[in-house]
Each structure stands twice: as C-alpha cells, then as structure tokens.
Amino acid sequence: MSVPENMEFFIDPARCIGCQACVQACSECDTHKGHSMIHLEYVDRAHSVQTAPVVCMHCDSPTCAEVCPADAIKRTEDGVVQTARKPRCIACNNCVLACPFGVPKMKTDFKLMMKCDMCYDRTSAGKKPMCATVCPSQALFFGTREQIERLRPRSTPNNRFWFGAQTITTKVNMMVPKTAQAQYIDVTAAMSERAIGKEITLNILTDAMYTGEEE
Amino acid sequence: MASTPEESQNIIERFGPHPAYSSGARLQTGIEPDDLVDTHCCFCGQQCGIRLKVKDNEVIGFEPREDFPFNQGMLCPKGVKRYLQGSHPDRLVSAYERDPSAEGGFRPIAYDRAIERVASEIKRIQDAYGPDSFAILSGASLTTEKAYLMGKFARVCLKTANIDYNGRLCMVSAAVGNKKAFGIDRAANPWSDILKTEVVWISGANVAECAPITTNYVWQAREHGAKIIVVDPRITPLARTCDLFLPVKPGRDVALFNGILHLMIENDWLDHDFIEKHTVGFEAVAEHVKEWTPRRTAQVTGISERAIRQAAEWWGEAKTSFLLHARGIEHHSHGVQNVLGAINMVLASGRIGRPYCGYATITGQGNGQGGREHGQKCDQLPGARDISNPEHRAYVAEVWGVQPDDLPGAGVDAYEIIRKADSGEIRGLLSICFNPKVSLPDNNFVTRVLDKLEFFVAIDFFLNETAHHADIILPGSLHEEDEGIVTQIEGRVIKINKAVDPPGDARQDWRIIQDIAHCLGRERGFQFTRPREIFDELRQASRGGIADYSGITYEKIEKQGGVFWPCPDEDHPGTPRLFEEGSWNPIAKGAGPFYFPDGKARFNVAPYTPPAEDVDEDYPIILTTGRVVSQFLSGTQTRRIGPLVDQYPEPLVEMHPHLAERLGIADGDWTTIESRRGDCTLRAHVVSTIRPDTVFIPYHWAGRKSANQLTISAQDPISKIPEYKVCAVRVKRRNGE
C-alpha cells in the first residue's frame, strides 16, 4: 500500500483561522495516537490573528534523513518521509536541528523523534490525512492538482524553497497568490527583517475607524 | 429551600469540572470498533456529520464523515474531541438529593424515590400557589422530539404557562425580525448559495470561531471573486483577510444598515421591480433613512465615511449577495431593530429567493432552529404556531386530546422567570439543558434567586453550576445516548443516531419527563416508547403550521442527507431555498413568495437607539462578550474535555495597546473589570485587533471568572434577548500589583 501519486498536500496560510482542529485531529491519527505532530503558531498575536500551520513538507531529499547518524529516517517510494524508526533512533536531535522547516519533534519520554507522516495509515489506504479532512478553512487540503486548480483559481502551488544556498523540493505544496509569480519561496530572506504584520493590521482597524476629521 | 449546599470547592472536587483525556481503548492503536455510528456533532448549529467509533458501549473516537453534504468531513476542535464527553468521571450516573452532610453536598438516591419527590413537590407548590408558580427552563441543544415534549409537558401535564428556553439568549432577535419581515423564521438559503455569490456581508458573526465550517464556504466564494465585508469591533480570524473591514462600535449596527440603505437610495442601487412587486413599506423606510447621511452614520458607528461608502458601493452594485449575521447584532436591547435594518438592506437589493442571493442568521445552538419551532418558547405551540391565536390553540389541543381552554396562555421569557422567582410568583423550577447561573447576564442576581426557590430539580448529564442549587438532580442523557431530529443552521432537518446506552441510572430525558408525568398521575399523552413515536405526533402537530414537518420521516432524512422544512407531505422533497416563485407557502397560497397573506415582504422602519447602558465618566469603557473556538456556551461539556481546556484554559480580557497603555496594563497583567453589577479579575491580553474603546471577554466560565457577572440584564422589548454585547465597565490593574 502506498499513497497514490496524484494525491498531494497543499497548505494555504491565507485561509488559516487558527482554530487548531488540525492539531486536535492529528492526535487522533492511529500511527501516533495522543501526540500531535502539527505546528500551528501565531505569527505575531499582539498585532494580528494570523496563524500558520506547518505539517512535514516531505522533502525529495530530506535533510533530516541526510543528517541522521543512525539511518533511522526513511522516505518511502511514494515520497513520504516517515517518523524515525524506533529500533534505530538514538534521540540525538540532529534531525530536529537540521530540518529547515522545524518539523521533527523529539519525544524525550520515548527517546524517539516523531513527526508528521502524512497519516500514512490513512493516506496509504486511500483516505485523506486527519488534519486536511477536518480543517474547517481548508487551509490544509489533500487532493489532486486538478482539484486544487479548479477550487483555487487565485493561487498556485509552489514546492521549491530556498534556504540560503540550499534549494529544497518538497512533496507538500505551499499555495501562493498567482500574482506573486513565485518560482520558489526564499525562506531565509526575511529572517532578519522585522515582522511587518504590525503595520498592516493596525491599518485595517484604524484606517476604517471614524476619527472625527473631514474626509 | 434550594441553596448551594456547601462550599463550591467541595462540589467541584466531587462533580467537576475535571478535564478528561484519552486513555484506555481510546489511546490504543489498531482497535477494531464494534460499531460505527453515523450521526452529528453535539455542539453548534452547523451540526456537522461525524462517525462515532463504538467499542464495549463506549465512544472511543471518531472518523470524519465525508458523505454529509454540509461539512464533508470537516470538523472544528470541539467536534474532534466531542467523544471525550462520554465515559467521563464527572458523569451523573444516579439521581441525587441535596444533603449538606454528604460528600460534595449531594447524596445518591434511588431514581424512583427522586421522581416521587419531584412529583410531590410539583403538586405541593402548584396546589399552594397555582399552576403558574412552577416553571420550566429548557434548552435548544435538545432534540426536537424532546423540545416538543417539554412544551407539551408544561402545557398539558403541569398546566403552567411558564416555560421558556435558552434560545432566549441566542436566536430570538433574529426570529422576531425574520417573522416581521418575511413571515417565517428560518435561514432563507442553503449554504451552497454562499459559494458563488458576489458579495458576502458578515455582521456581528465571528464565523471562524463560532461556526468554523462556514469559513470554507466564505473562502470558496472569495476564490470565485466574491468580496467579503466583515462588520465587527474585533479583527476576527475571518476579518483578517476580508476585503473590507468595518470596525463598528458595539451597539451601533442598525445605524450602519440605515446608512448603507441611505447610500443605496441616493445612488439608485435599488431593485425597483422587486420592491414594487414583492414588498410593502419601502417609502416609510426610505423617509426614515434620509437622516442617516454617511457623516452621521460615521459619527454614530465609529466607522470611517470612506469605508461606509465603499461597503455601500460593493453591496449596492452587486448582482448576487449573501448577508449573514449572528449574535453580534442580535444580543442587544434593540436586537430586533438591528436585524430589521439588515433585512431592509437585503429587500432593497431584491437579492433573495434566487440562487446565490441569500440571507441568514447563523444559528448558535445545536438545535437552535428546531428547538425554537415546536413549543418550548413561552408564547409558542408546535409548528411555529402562536399560543395566543385561537385557531392555533384549537388545532394543537385536538392533536393533544385536550380542550383548547385547558391550554395555558403565553408565559414569560427566561429572564422574567428568574425575576418572578425573585418576587415569589414562581416557587418551583425544573431545568434541563440550561445553565443560567453562567449564561444569564447579571448572574450574581440569578444566583441569589436560585437560593430563593422552594424546590428546584435539574436534569443533566453533568452537574452544571446552576444545578449546584438543586434539591433533586436527575441523571439525563448525552447526545450519543438517544436518537431524534434536530434542524441545523440552514433549516435542514437531520437525524441524531444513538451510539451507546446511558450508564447506570441515567436515562433518556424524555423518559424522565414521562416518569414525572406518570408519578403525578397524568400519564395520558406521555406514554411514548421511543423517539419515533414522539416525532410522529410532532409531525401531526406541526401540520399546516409554518414550520410544517408533516412530510418528513426518519427514512427520508437518511435518504436525502437531511430534509429542509417546510415539507408538507411525504412526496414533497423539502424546501432548501425559501421565497422562490411557486414554492409551497400556506399563508400566501400563491399570492407571492413571502409568508404573509399578500405574499409580500415587509420593510420595517428600524430606528437607532443607544445601548441601555452607555459609557460615562464612571464606567468609560465598552465591554462586549463572545466565544472562543475551543469552548461552547456555558462550558458544561467543553470545560470537561481536557484538550479543549488546554487550548484556551481560562478567560482573558482583550484590549487594545492604546487603552492598555493609558491604564498602565501590560500583556498578562491581572486586570480588574468592574461594572455596576459585579467585578471580575482576569489576565490582560493586549492586542491591536480590537477597537481601543472596547474590551472583550469570552463568557464560557463560571464563578469568579464569569463574564456575566458584569453584563446587564437589559432586554430587547420584543424578543427579550439580553444585551450581552454592550455594557459599561471600568478597567484597572488589580489592586496592589
């Protein structure tokens, strides 16, 4: 059993409402019951309600596997990067530190790295992952490229990311506005910049408020 | 006398809320369930389809149910973790009697003995003070069969006029507005009409947190080019990326609607044909909104003139549109006027009764729609009939096998029941599915009144805070322990299916009600053996009413994925979209699409009045209240589900950094919020996503964390909804810190 080739995962942070349905549903997945593998963060809650969900991006050449000294992380032929194998994992944290997306979690209780395996028990049996099934905003979407093109005419999937000199291609796609015409997403480019959320959100509220001045 | 039997802390230790987490079979992998039960979520009005996994009479988890058309597998965090309410350590599994010497203040007693005590107290109180001295508070999370039975029980068995329900705190302003304007109280459209509309207008609805699945409908409309307009004092998750955000000052919604209509008239963005053919009353409304110039609208609403003009232009020029509103405009002492103002905008546009032209209130409670149609409201009989209308009384009396004159008249609303208990007119109370000590405004008053009752019996599956004051507690049933219908947000009647049996002495609520009737020696009409029999009588009782369910069967619901009422006969497919040419309408009888004898919708002049308690020098800040995504209503269930508690453990007071700076409050500081009715100390959440003149507190918590210690019990004069969305407070850092 494997994940069908035409079924892909798409993330659209513009849709995310931060409700945590994905986080709660992830812990219901049979391969890691009771443990949620999803990262859902406020970008800057003081100034915006914007949240960003991150599942494992399932890299074509996974950095986590490349740095693993115990060869515990396997990418199956269908492109899914699996959680570390228990008998091999030495809980060294290399993968946690190396993953450019910050995905793997070290479960110190079990001395095991765990991460999103795209609900392998479900997706390899023809079902959708828990998170993408329940997501009320469909910020997390699992389906075919034809479906996403039909449903999201304003956006386009992108699966190439730059981290400095490293280019990574992933099985999971990030939806970006069509107008952006991005060939890739330079993840590190904005790392040293101040978050710009503040100015944007303040304007939404105060620009639309009556101030008593002539307009 | 009913009163809190001992220190609350002891009650909480014994009865909770304790947060439950997955354990045992719920945490094991690879378990084969005995059964998979297709049913719905127990929480909000969307009633998402869900498949419960059952093992050894326990719900051990869920599978998304992608076959149900409304949510297609989607669930919010509450739906995901709803299964943890079953097999809960706080679950009431026997009847209890108040006993100050017992652990937690209550001692378990035999179920039959408890029923006998309830019956004898009802009899004693009614003999001494008259039938209306015993009141019932019911709820809109009950199935429609139970809600129907509660209405019948009050009128036929207890012969009391005083029954009302917690929908009084929820949908009644919308219900009254809809009836005044359209002659019918139901969402006018299925949600699929949102998908391809040009403009989605959302007023006073935190869709992402209170109706999360609706988000995907709105986003999908946007994908196809729709403009999204959100009106709210806070930048809610949906507002963050909307096309136009109107940061309305709480309590000023109708001024905005009047201002928009003013601009529609000025720019001739009107559907003259529709207004002429299908409405009455436009001229008076047009005259009234003349004074609502953009300048005046801006001054009153606190929204910039530019934003108001932009909204009017998008709304005015649209070919299709969908207007949604919720408690944000309804929870006001002029909630009905707010709703009428919104409807005037819709009627002037002519965009209703056609594909992608829609209007709806977003119903809050699980059976908020069905629970308000079949007779547990103080002035209503089944089929959305009027208890003061002689023909309606005669019809229902015949179905019930009683004389019309034997039916009591209209009773009073839920808050007035509390006031009458204060004055001594009401001496006894039965409550089910209602937690007024948390959910009613000015709840310090409510608490004092509960202590005045001579006898109070509560039916529930957990001991909610109101039941702390009960003399007898009867163990009722969870959603998954019974079957029956509910009507969800779109007007779609759906079926709840039973997954497990009630534990211990707990039993289905309708059985408990019937047991009381039997013990009173008035069992006639209360001898149903299963919900299907109640449903069949309900169908009969609703026949010919506006909310006509007579053509709906359990089988048809199953086959069609729900049936939209009205559905007047078994060959009728139901009515997904109201007000279409030629659709069934027992009032207009072909005269037109709306539910009045002439078939025409009504414009209603909707005057603006300020909130009952505006800010002043002493209380200079507006308090508004609402919900968070991980909690539900008064929290009786969700404060007992561990993962949901962890997601948002306790209420925070949200305020803008400008206000926080002025008050010397930093994020995380303990902050005291005081109104004329009470005070509350919570941590500050300093965020620039709220108007600087307003603070927000979610209301799901009890005791000293309860936001409703502060809120005002002012009510809309027509709908009797309380003004939860605006009152005056002062805010300061907690003393000495």
The CATH number of whichever domain residue A18 belongs to comes to 3.30.70
Q: A68-99 pLDDT, tens per residue?
A: 999 999 999 999 999 999 999 999 999 999 99
Peptide bond into B692 cis (omega under 30): no
* HSE of B138, CA atoms in CB hemisphere, 13 A: 31
DSSP string across chain A: ----TT-EEEE-GGG-----HHHHHHTTSGGGTT----EEEES-TTT---EEEE----BSS-HHHHT-TT----B-TTSPBPPPPTTT-----HHHHH-TT---EEETTTTEEE-----HHHHTTTPPPHHHHH-TT-SEEEE-HHHHHHH-TTEEEEEEEEETTEEEEEEEEEEEEGGG--SSEESSTTTTSPP-HHHHHHHHHHHTB--SS--
User: Mind listing the pLDDT tens digit for each residue in B49-64?
Assistant: 999 999 999 999 999 9
Interface mutation vs chain B, best among A23, A27, A51, A204, most B CBs within 10 Å: A204
Question: Could you give the CA distance from residue A146 to residue B225 in angstroms, rounded to a whole number?
Answer: 19
- In the predicted model, what is the mean pLDDT of chain B? 96
Residues of A in contact with B306 (CB under 8 A): 208, 215
For the segment B548-567, the average pLDDT, to the nearest whole number, is 96
Kindly state the average pLDDT of the residues A19-34. 94
Tally the domains of chain A. 1
Nearest to B77 among A19, A133, A198 (CB): A19
Q: Which residues of B touch A211 (CB under 8 A)?
A: 304
Whats the size of chain B, residue-wise?
A: 737
Mean pLDDT, range A12-30, rounded to an integer: 96
The reply to whether A78 falls in a domain is: no
- Tokens for B687? 């965020």
pLDDT in tens, B634-658: 999 999 999 999 999 999 999 999 9
Q: Which residues of A touch B219 (CB under 8 A)?
A: 15, 137-138
In the 3-class helix/strand/coil scheme, how is B669-688 assigned residue by residue? Answer: CEEEEECCCCEEEEEEEECC
Amino acid of residue B675: S
Give A129-172 pLDDT, tens digit per residue: 999 999 999 999 999 999 999 999 999 999 999 988 889 999 99
What number is the average pLDDT over the span B542-571?
Answer: 96
E-only strand ranges, B313-391: 321-325, 357-361, 380-381, 385-386
Contacting residues for B702 by C-beta, under 8 A, at least 6 apart = B437, B438, B465, B634, B635, B639
Reported confidence tier of residue B581, pLDDT bands at 50, 70, 90: confident
pLDDT at A197: 46
Average pLDDT over residues B356-367: 96
Which of A24, A45, A46 lies at the smallest CB-CB distance from B81? A24
A21 domain-assigned: yes
**In degrees rounded to 5, what are phi and psi of residue B338?**
-60, -45
Pick from A21, A137, A210: which is nearest to B219 by CB? Answer: A137
Is B246 an 8 Å CB contact of chain A? yes
Which of B234, B235, B256, B646 is the best residue to mutate to test the A interface, defined by the most A CB atoms within 10 Å of its own CB?
A: B235
Chain B, nearest residue to A153 by Cα: B223
Q: Which of A26, A36, A205, A211 to mutate to test the interface with B (most CBs of B within 10 A)?
A: A205
Q: Report the C-alpha gap between B268 and B16 in whole angstroms.
A: 59
* Per-residue pLDDT band at B3 (split at 50, 70, 90): low
* Alpha carbons B244 and B267: distance in angstroms, whole number: 20
B630 part of contact set with chain A, CB < 8 Å: yes
Q: Is residue A190 part of a domain?
A: yes
Tell me: pLDDT of A198 over 80: no
In 3-state terms chain B splits into helix, strand, coil percentages (rounded to 5) of: 35, 20, 45
- Among B237, B667, B687, beta carbon nearest to A18: B237
- The three state secondary structure string of B613-652 is CCCCCCCCEEEEEECCCCCCCCCCCHHHEHHHHHHCCCCE
User: How many Cα atoms occupy the beta-carbon half-sphere of A150 within 13 Å?
Assistant: 5
Task: Measure B225 CA to nearest chain A CA, in Å.
Answer: 9
The predicted structure's pLDDT at residue B301: 98
**Shortest Cα distance from A49 to chain B (angstroms)?**
6
Q: Which residue of B has its CA nearest to A48?
A: B689
- Tokens 């006018």 belong to B188
Q: H or E element: which one contains B134? A: strand B134-138
Residue A138 to residue B73, Cβ atoms within 8 A:
no
- In the A/B pair of chains, how many CB contacts fall below 8 A? 156
Q: What is the pLDDT of residue A200?
A: 46
More confident residue, A202 or A160: A160
Q: pLDDT > 90: what percent of chain B?
A: 97
B47, B74, B238, B243: best to mutate for the A interface, most A CBs within 10 A: B74
The CATH number that domain B621-733 falls under is: 2.40.40.20
Among residues B374, B399, B371, B401, which one has the least CA distance to residue B385? B374
Report the pLDDT value the prediction gives residue B4, as an integer from 0 to 100.
Answer: 56
* Cross-chain CB nearest to A14 (options B22, B241, B301): B241
Closest C-alpha to B596, from B608, B607, B588 = B588
Residues of chain A with Cβ-Cβ distance to B81 below 8 Å are: 24
Residue A199's pLDDT is 43
Q: Does B67 touch chain A (CB under 8 A)?
A: no
Across the interface, whether the CB atoms of A19 and B76 are under 8 A apart is answered yes
> Quick check: B74 and A134 CB within 8 A?
yes
Q: CA-CA distance, B367 to B358, in Å (whole number)? A: 21
For the segment B377-402, the average pLDDT, to the nearest whole number, is 97
What pLDDT does residue B171 have?
87
pLDDT, one tens digit per residue, over B138-164 is 999 999 999 999 999 999 999 999 999
Is residue B73 less than 8 Å (CB to CB) from chain A? yes
The neighbour count for residue B518, using CB atoms within 10 Å, is 15
pLDDT of residue B117: 98
Tell me the domain boundaries of chain B. 8-85, 95-164+367-485+505-529, 172-361, 621-733
CATH topology of domain B8-85: Phosphorylase Kinase; domain 1 (3.30.200)
pLDDT in tens, B265-291: 999 999 999 999 999 999 999 999 999
What does the pLDDT look like over B416-443, one tens digit per residue?
A: 999 999 999 999 999 999 999 999 999 9
Q: How far apart are the first and last CA of chain B?
A: 41
Cβ atoms A102, A26 nearer than 8 A: no
Nearest residue of A to residue B691, measured between CA atoms: A205
Residue of A122, A210, A214 best to disrupt the B interface, most CBs of B under 10 A: A210
With contacts defined as CB-CB under 8 Å, which chain A residues touch B642? none
DSSP symbol at B579: T
**A198 in a structural domain:** yes
- Which residue in chain A has the smallest CA separation from B32? A30
Q: Which of B80, B302, B630 sits opposite A210 (nearest CB)?
A: B302
User: Would you give the DSSP letter of residue B502?
Assistant: P
Per the prediction, chain A carries an average pLDDT of 90
Of A30, A50, A215, the CB nearest to B306: A215
Residue A75 class from Cβ within 10 Å (0-12 exposed, 13-18 middle, 19+ buried)? middle
pLDDT-derived band at A21 (thresholds 50, 70, 90) equals very high
| Contact status of B24 with chain A (Cβ, < 8 Å) | no
Put simply, the answer to whether A134 touches B667 (Cβ < 8 Å) is no
Q: What is the mean pLDDT of residues B689-705?
A: 97
Q: Cα separation of A40 and A137, whole Å?
A: 14
Burial state string for A118-136 with b = 16 or more CB within 10 A and e = fewer than 16: bbbbbbbeebbbbbbbbbb
Tell me the residue range of the domain where A31 lies.
Answer: 8-61+119-207
* Across B447-453, average pLDDT: 96
Residue B695: band (very low, low, confident or very high) from pLDDT cuts 50, 70, 90: very high
Picking from B31, B63, B304, B314 by the largest number of A CB atoms within 10 A of its own CB, the best residue to mutate is B304
Q: Judge whether B237 is closer than 8 Å to chain A, CB to CB.
A: yes
Burial B4-33 (b: 16+ CB within 10 A, else e): bbbeeeebbebbbbbbbebeeebeeeebeb
Residue A30: closest C-alpha in chain B: B29
Cβ-defined contact of A128 to B73 (cutoff 8 Å): yes
B389 contact A CB<8A = no
Residue B1's pLDDT is 46
The answer to whether domain B95-164+367-485+505-529 has CATH 3.40.50.740 is yes
* Cα nearest neighbour of B28 on chain A: A33
Q: Which of B325, B321, B354 is nearest to B194 (CA)?
A: B321
pLDDT in tens, A97-134: 999 999 999 988 889 999 999 999 999 999 999 999 99
Q: Judge whether A123 lies within some domain.
A: yes
B172-361 adopts what CATH topology?
A: Dimethylsulfoxide Reductase; domain 2 (3.40.228)
- Residues of chain B found within 8 Å of residue A213, distances taken between Cβ atoms: none
* CB spacing of B74 vs A138 below 8 angstroms: yes
Q: Please check whether residue B613 is in contact with residue B334, taking contact to mean a CB–CB distance below 8 angstroms.
A: no
Q: Does B643 touch chain A (CB under 8 A)?
A: yes
Mean pLDDT on A183-198:
69
Tokens of B22: 């997955």
CA distance A161 to chain B (A): 24
Q: Do B22 and A24 touch (CB under 8 A)?
A: no
Chain B residue with minimal CA distance to A14? B241
Given a contact cutoff of 8 angstroms between Cβ atoms, the answer to whether A141 and A12 are in contact is: yes
